[in-house]
Structure 1
Amino acid sequence: MIASFVLAAAVTTAAPALQAEPQARVVQVAQPREAVALLSCMVKSNGGLTDCSVQAESPTDLGVGDAALQMASQIQVELLGPDGKSRAGSFIDVPIRIRIR
């Protein structure tokens, strides 16, 4: 009885090799490592941003600009610029980088 069991196992494992089916190949599409958007935003008196618009985005087909606009309300900037003057009420460029994994 043991011998017939081993023979059946050998036949079973050999059968799929005879009926080989085409295998699907997985093709990976190269994704950018980083997406970038440049916003132009007005600085509020509390350092928050308002009235933002997308000036540029790369790559253009991932919706990075829209994602950056949604994040802009959570960004706080220093009220004093490098020249020591208040930025409140003025527009500034805000680069947003998103790492893609």
Structure 2
Amino acid sequence: MRIQTLIAIPIAVLLASTAGAATITSENLIWAAAPSFDDMAAAWPARGEGLAEGSASLQCRIVGAGRLTGCDTLSDQPVGQGFARAAKTLVAKFQLKIDPRALRKDQDYFVVVSFRFLNPDTPPGRARRVSNPRWISMPDPGRIQGVFPKAAADAGVTHGVGVIDCQVAPDGHLTDCKVSRENPTGVGFGDAALLVAPIMQMNPWTDDGRPVDGARVKLPVQFGLAP
């Protein structure tokens, strides 16, 4: 049985990899489910008391509909503080966004998952901050043009920004969005940004090994009226 290690496996790349034609990179990885900030805090190892952060990297076998099992430790830093063991307790929370029919029965598939833990007893560890999200769904320029506020256009305003404050859901979509500010004010850019929010989706696990579920984010949406 052949064994293939995958760093990232959207369906198209996965199918290509079985023929040996794909170069796999972490930027291609898409998750259907991943641990939350609460999950990461609960998994913080007892031996990590006094540390600000720790990290681990696991190589896991892909089974079924993108679930992970049989994980081996690739890195554990600082050594001996329990971060790899903590990471393994979170493996069941992950699910890759793949079509199981793309997995060949005569081939094993593995994925490498990184984890960056922050001490939940410190301010950075308590902050639910997403510093480096990867967007897997974004509105195209035509959709943004389509919700350009009529009040702004009628007033001769051709450019503006609406900033929205949103909760990140487990699947990376934005929920509970509110207008934070807009510029210029009073011509509808905040409300227009709210119309864009349902289209947007973050990858549920960041490339540097952090969650997004449970964070609140402020997102600026730029608007420009086409000539």
TM-score range, shorter chain: 0.5 to 0.7
Name structure 1 gaps, 5 residues minimum: 1-28
| Bigger radius of gyration among the two | 1
Instruction: Using the TM superposition, give the Cα deviation of residue 40 of structure 1 relative to its aligned residue in structure 2, in angstroms.
Output: 0.8
Residues 1:91 and 2:191 are matched in the alignment: no
* 8 A Cα contact 1:43 1:92, kept in partner: yes
Instruction: Using the TM superposition, give the Cα deviation of residue 79 of structure 1 relative to its aligned residue in structure 2, in angstroms.
Output: 2.5
Report the equivalent of 1:39: 164
80-89 or 37-46: bigger deviation: 80-89
Matched residues in 1 for 2:218 and 2:175: separation? 12
SS state at 2:185 partner: coil
Using CA pairs under 8 Å that are at least 6 residues apart, name the structure with larger relative contact order, 1 or 2: 1
* 8 A Cα contact 1:44 1:89, kept in partner: yes
Q: Percent identity?
A: 34
Query: After TM superposition, which residue ranges in structure 1, 4 or more long, deviate above 6 angstroms?
Result: none
* 8 A Cα contact 1:35 1:57, kept in partner: yes
Matched residues in 2 for 1:61 and 1:32: separation? 11
Q: Could you list the per-position Cα deviations for residues 11-55 of structure 1 after superposition, in whole angstroms to 9, with x for gaps in the alignment? A: xxxxxxxxxxxxxxxxxx984442101111011111100001111
Report the equivalent of 2:175: 50
Matched residues in 1 for 2:192 and 2:155: separation? 21
When the two chains are superposed, the root-mean-square deviation of aligned CA atoms in Å is: 2.1
TM-score in terms of structure 1 length: 0.62
Name structure 2 gaps, 5 residues minimum: 1-153
Answer 1 or 2: which has greater strand percent.
Answer: 2
Matched residues in 2 for 1:82 and 1:46: separation? 15
Matched residues in 2 for 1:61 and 1:41: separation? 21
SS state at 1:52 partner: strand
